[in-house]
Each structure stands twice: as C-alpha cells, then as structure tokens.
C-alpha cells in the first residue's frame, strides 16, 4: 500500500507543479492618472 501511495504522489507531483506555474503575469489596474511601468513593476504617474 505504501508503495502504491508513493507511486501515486510521484506521478501527480509534476502535474501539480506544472499547474502552479505560468502565473508570472497578473492583471494590474492602475488608478487614474497613472500607468503601469513594466521596468519598475509598479504604477507611475503619467506625464503631460
């Protein structure tokens, strides 16, 4: 039984890790008068 459980965990672990990845980008909305600056990774005031 322990061997079966170990095999199951080792089989499903890569799938769970793969599902957790890919969320590097999140939608971000900035307040009025600011825009998202990818270099600074934050909202910055608009100029002009």
Does this model's pTM top 0.85? no
Which residues, including other chains, have CB under 8 Å from residue 44's CB and lie 6 or more apart? 34, 35, 36, 37
Q: Is 35 helix (H, G, I), strand (E, B) or coil?
A: strand
The answer to whether 40 and 34 have CB atoms below 8 angstroms apart is no
The tens place of each residue's pLDDT in the chain, 48 residues long, gives 888 778 777 777 776 666 655 555 556 689 999 999 889 989 999 986
Query: Which residue in 34, 30, 37, 36 sits closest to 46, CA to CA?
Result: 34
């Amino acid at each position: 039984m322990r061997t079966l459980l170990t095999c199951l965990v080792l089989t499903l672990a890569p799938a769970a890790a793969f599902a957790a990845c890919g969320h590097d980008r999140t939608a971000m909305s900035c307040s009025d008068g600011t825009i998202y600056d990818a270099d600074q990774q934050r909202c910055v005031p608009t100029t002009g």
